[in-house]
A and B are shown apart, each in its own frame.
Chain A
Amino acid sequence: MIHSLFLISNAGDLFLEKHWKSVISRSVCDYFFEAREKAVEPDNVPPVIRTPHHYLINIYREKIFFVSVIQTEVPPLFVIEFLHRVAETFQDYFGECSETTIKDNVVIVYELLEEMLDNGFPLATESNILKELIRPPTILRSMVNTITGSSNVGETLPTGQLSTIPWRRAGVKYTSNEAYFDVVEEIDAILDKSGTAVFAEIQGVIDACVKLSGMPDLTLSFMNPRLLDDVSFHPCVRYKRWESERVISFIPPDGNFQLMSYHISAQNLVAIPVYVKQNISFFETGSSGRLDITVGPKQTMGKTLECLVVTVHMPKVVLSANLSATQGTYNYDPVTKILVWDIGKLNPQKLPNLKGSLSLQSGAPKPEENPSLNIDLKIQQLAISGLKVNRLDVYGEKYKPFKGVKYVTKAGKFQVRT
């Protein structure tokens, strides 16, 4: 199972190590550093690295490499999922998962890692249970602790850890009971030069914030559950009822969690809310080029496009851009070669346009690769797939909770080829 964990900063600084079995010398990370150097970009470091005696499985999150060492045959996905869980737990506990916060909270980090894995076997990875075992640091609590001399560590057996609903602790109490759901859909798409979708799909998630007392049993139903044929559920969801009745029945964890994720790939269901007319060309001589981009609304179901941002990855030889935007601001970073045009809200009456010239390194040949555009956008109060929640019922408890559903659509990996 998982033998050791090393945390390495983007700069190559190994700042934390944890061993769950015998101690493995940190020199094993040299193989990682070698791969890291070879990959150039941190994102391109291969997730599984083979060394003569160990395997290094790593993820890159928030500018930190989480490098785990394994010695025997362990499913790599198991390790990667666990590392994600570690990163999420840090995020949850410290508000952000960065080198500084981890160093600031090193004892809690150590205690957490000790609770999460025993001899390499996952022990407690549910945030609910962990929070019962080790309380997250807050300014208030550390003050209280210093005054009263009490500690961060829970004194009781975590109640959820052994029940058949390990995700929920017992005896939850709220004065106002509320259950909110966010339906968030991201459109992943590749559009070709002419604007036709080569590939488009929707990645949806339903995030929940449930603060209900006792042991509520919830049922969430949809107006159009047929849309969902490819779903992944939080362990709390009763799969059998979904299979037979297409409703989501569950006893929720306490607080924030992701209830389900889904995937819609049927082309006719994926609406493309935006179109882009673009022309980026380079001249054979004169070391210059021209850029002209216009963005307009397509299938928006009557909603407004917000937070519209166009990002262009320019070829390496592009030195600067002299452009003018009819709306929003643009910025070209000559180091990363990324042009960002922040448009904001889209006004369908007056389409935003960015136009001007690009100057290239003098004497450089016409670039070989085509730059590609990335679109970011947001549509409030709309799930682009048309998914709609019908109702939420609470069983097992007597109170009437506040309920609410919010919809939002975003661009995921939304790419336009030139």
Chain B
Amino acid sequence: LKVINCCVWDPSGEIFELKAELNSDKKEKKKEAVKKVIASMTVGKDVSALFPDVVNCMQTDNLELKKLVYLYLMNYAKSQPDMAIMAVNTFVKDCEDPNPLIRALAVRTMGCIRVDKITEYLCEPLRKCLKDEDPYVRKTAAVCVAKLHDINAQLVEDQGFLDTLKDLISDSNPMVVANAVAALSEIAESHPNSNLLDLNPQTINKLLTALNECTEWGQIFILDCLANYMPCDDRESQSICERVTPRLSHANSAVVLSAVKVLMKFMEMLPKDLDYYGTLLKKLAPPLVTLLSAEAELQYVALRNINLIVQKRPEILKHEMKVFFVKYNDPIYVKLEKLDIMIRLASQANIAQVLAELKEYATEVDVDFVRKAVRAIGRCAIKVEQSAERCVSTLLDLIQTKVNYVVQEAIVVIKDIFRKYPNKYESVIATLCENLDSLDEPEARAAMIWIVGEYAERIDNADELLESFLEGFHDESAQVQLQLLTAIVKLFLKKPTETQELVQQVLSLATQDSDNPDLRDRGYIYWRLLSTDPVAAKEVVLAEKPLISEETDLIEPTLLEELICHIGTLASVYHKPPSAFVEGSRGVQHKRLPARMGAGLGVAPAAMPASLGGAPAVGGGLGDLFDLGGGVGMPTGSYVAPKTVWLLAIKAKGLEISGTFARRGGIIQMDLSLTNKAMSVMTDFAVQFNRNSFGLAPAGPMQVLTPLSPNQTIDVSLPLSMSGPVMKMEPLNNLQVAVKNNIDVFYFSCQYPLSLLFVEDGRFYRQVFLATWKDIPNDSEAQFQIKDIHLNSDVASNKLQGSNIFTIAKRTVEGQDMLYQSIKLTNGIWVLAEMRIQTGNPNYTKTNGFRDCMQKQMYDSTSVVRFSSK
């Protein structure tokens, strides 16, 4: 039956005709007329004028006619809300129809009519349908709740539909369960903090049962929902994994990827030495490979996700390099993704294969792809050191092809290779210089200029080369101008005699004739440096550059973890957290991978960021030891500095930590105050230290027994041992700490007073003190002056003893009290000290001698030991 005629649509005439047909007495004619109306509507013609006539056809026993009228209603009810009311009665009646198909159809259609007045009438029929005896009606009604929520969220909550929906998760029919999960997930997206999908082991079990029996789409909803669950322990985690694994063999790729997400997330909790962990890793590879033989669009999404998986767990696909080889008829978006993954998988074992492929790609037709392939060769050189030489020679081969864009890309990456392996491949410079004239892209020109400047002393005609660029200085892009300026200054510093004129020229071009502030500023800086202190200029400009890192485009670990939790979603396609771009998701919660059980923190201490800001002032000088704030009285123990804030709440999602260190009864303790300034309860605290100078490490787990509710503060004492791994820190008493809770892992650094490490048996033998003192070489001595201390020698001596600084002897010379003292550190180093106190003079002088000059070296670099003298 042809419904579209080729004739021109004549609104008035045709509509008139249809109107007549719709009101015809003949059933068949009516139906044909409605069909024509629908056909016109489908192609975007406005047939809303026929609304009353079409609605009149609704009261019919003919299912097809009813469906067609419903279709029409859904489309036009919005523009004719008053008319739409006319249809309400029929809907309500249909919801009571003995035929479940009609009941479902009515409730389904009603939900699609986005008119406020209609939604009011919808509530009662919907409530009935949610409890209908027929599962087909129930599953349709479940979706209807989501529709209604989209139109009027308040109404849905007031009517208690959300609770009914939650009950449906335990329905006996798997389709109903799946639809309830789907509807709840959609509603939850606009209510990030509501506990709509309250998952517990019972509901999880229900979902896993339904998973086996529902449709492929239902499986996707259920798997995505499962991925939000946090198993209580590794056993539960394993049992979920076992029940999800069969989904990896599903024909629907979305089911496969959602299953991969669940497994990737939950295997995080499994101990790595578990056999099952290895089995699971092996099972993940084939389905991922299979995704790559699907249609191009599916491949694209799969590849974006595999890119994440490869970064998180490279072991899964390390043997599957070949499936990422590019086919010439792959769409460009697939080619570029495959290339990216190939580089990530490149290793010494497969580099020869990869390079051969990349070289092949460099002769392809698509320019973008060729460029990326050339860059990839450079990235391989930087990533796999053993292959660098081969990569360079491949690049040289490519330069010989003289294909313009290939040459330019090659030069850009060779610059990076020079940065990574200085003084190794400079022999190729001559070849590069031959191609100077063909470079027309700023990036390539800048790279070439950098090379010339950096190796000016090895290029005989470096000045000529750079001069040739200078001619069109103002036509160059800013990138090239900056590079040219620096390169000429470098050249001048290396060959000052021949290039004075050149450097003058570039400086004046940069400072006087340019209106680019960056360029001008850089020009002035160089100019002043050169004119005031050429030696300093040399040190600055020709300073040794840090090596570039291996992989420049890895996703930052916390973001990667979050993205792994979002495998298969848009976030995983864009490699951005959902909060960054999804509209309508107000305040999406950040998802985290669960921590592995028993392993404490999920981070290796070595991976702690080195530069931690906000370290408080050193709390460990001698001034502190005298407890100046404390005033009078005999000290009973070592000095304990007041607590300072180590971790600010704004940096740690509401967790504030302040603390100090103390030595009590020979045990070093870290006293912490944890304050919850967030809105939610914090639990699961754990602490770990990075390697430090004296091997400080927690002697036991942090005891936070009760959950920390909002605005609550608890004090914790953490006993420390000296048995941790040792690494010299800067400053010496720096300590980097990681604290974990249910929300995240946070890092901060603090400094402990050195007096913490003074042991109780630090009293030196009086007899040998003098001889030892004399034995200490002069360069192991240091002197400090301590100012503004109003204590007499006895009080001072007592106070210091509280901190395990022992006075061995005392004598008075010329009105000065001389105290001879000893200290022993936890690692067995002895420190001997002489303290001179001039009575009435608040400035003390102290000389320290280190018994072990090897150790002295260690202290040289610190400013922490602030004892001493004149």
Contact = CB atoms under 8 A, between A and B. Distances in A.
B206 to A, nearest CB: 16
A73 B251 contact: no
A350 interface: no
Contacts of A395: none
B570 interface: yes
Given A47-B300, A72-B189, A73-B585, A151 B143 contact: no
Interface string B7-48: 000000000000000000001100100010011001110000
A264 to B, nearest CB: 11
Interface string B146-189: 11001000000000000000000000011100010011001001
A81 B293 contact: no
A1 B186 contact: yes
A34 interface: no
Contacts of B42: 16-18, 106-107, 109-110
Contacts of B301: 47-48, 76-77, 80
B71 interface: yes
B200 to A, nearest CB: 24
Interface in A121-142: 121-122, 125-126, 137, 142
Contacts of A53: 583
A72 B584 contact: yes
Interface string B577-592: 0100111110000000
Interface string A71-101: 1111111101110100000000000000000
Contact of B573 (A48, A162, A239, A265): A48
B258 to A, nearest CB: 7
Interface stretch (B323-331, B707-715, B789-797): B323-331
B325 A199 contact: yes
Nearest to B38: A107
Contacts of B101: 156-157
A30 interface: no
Contact of B571 (A73, A125, A149): A73
B367 to A, nearest CB: 10
A417 B182 CA distance: 48
Contact of A118 (B38, B143, B254, B296): B143
A301 interface: no
A179 interface: no
Contacts of A71: 583-584
Closest 8 A/B residue pairs (Cβ): A153-B64, A230-B286, A47-B297, A77-B254, A151-B64, A122-B217, A78-B254, A239-B246
A372 B327 CA distance: 10
Contact of B297 (A80, A106, A118, A229): A80
Given A46-B300, A77-B257, A84-B295, A232 B585 contact: no
B293 to A, nearest CB: 5
Interface string A261-281: 101010000000000000000
Interface string A235-251: 10001101100000000
Interface string A384-418: 00000000000000000000000000000101010
B124 interface: no
B150 A106 contact: no
Contacts of A149: 27-28
A217 interface: no
A121 B35 CA distance: 25
16 contacts: A19-B75, A26-B44, A44-B333, A48-B301, A55-B570, A77-B254, A77-B257, A106-B38, A118-B143, A121-B179, A125-B215, A151-B64, A153-B64, A190-B325, A199-B325, A233-B251
A258 interface: yes
B302 interface: yes
B224 interface: yes
A94 B401 CA distance: 52
Interface string B304-341: 00000000000000000011010111011100000000
B55 to A, nearest CB: 18
Contact of A75 (B63, B174, B254, B360): B254
A166 interface: yes
Interface in A294-323: 313, 315
A107 B3 contact: yes
Nearest to B178: A121
B512 interface: no
A370 B296 CA distance: 24
B325 A230 contact: no
Contact of B216 (A39, A235, A240): A235
Contact of A142 (B1, B71, B254): B1
A154 to B, nearest CB: 8
B156 to A, nearest CB: 14
A43 interface: yes
Contacts of A333: none
Contacts of A55: 570
Given A16-B42, A76-B570, A77-B568, A190 B327 contact: yes
Contacts of B328: 313, 372, 415
Contact of B325 (A104, A122, A198, A243): A198
A164 interface: yes
A203 interface: yes
A166 B175 CA distance: 10
A409 B173 CA distance: 42
A15 interface: yes
Contact of A44 (B2, B179, B331, B573): B331
Given A73-B582, A198-B325, A119 B147 contact: yes
Interface of A: 1, 15-23, 26, 39, 41, 43-44, 46-48, 50, 53, 55, 58-59, 71-78, 80-82, 84, 103-104, 106-107, 109-111, 114, 118-119, 121-122, 125-126, 137, 142, 149, 151-157, 161-162, 164, 166, 188, 190, 192, 198-199, 201, 203, 229-235, 239-240, 242-243, 258, 260-261, 263, 265, 313, 315, 368-370, 372, 374, 413, 415, 417
B58 to A, nearest CB: 15
Contacts of A261: 251, 290
B78 interface: yes
Nearest to A243: B246
A137 B173 CA distance: 33
B723 interface: no
Contacts of A234: 251
Contacts of B175: 161-162, 166
A55 B2 CA distance: 34
B176 to A, nearest CB: 9
B667 to A, nearest CB: 52
Contacts of B570: 48, 55, 73-74, 76
Given A230-B287, A240-B246, A50 B574 contact: yes
Given A81-B252, A156-B101, A368-B403, A43 B296 contact: yes
Interface string B47-68: 0000000000000001111011
Contacts of B179: 121
Contact of B323 (A118, A126, A153, A265): A265
Contacts of A188: 293, 327
B363 A368 contact: yes
Contacts of B100: 157
Contact of A235 (B2, B189, B251, B256): B251
A190 B330 CA distance: 13
Contact of A72 (B71, B216, B300, B585): B585
A125 B217 contact: yes
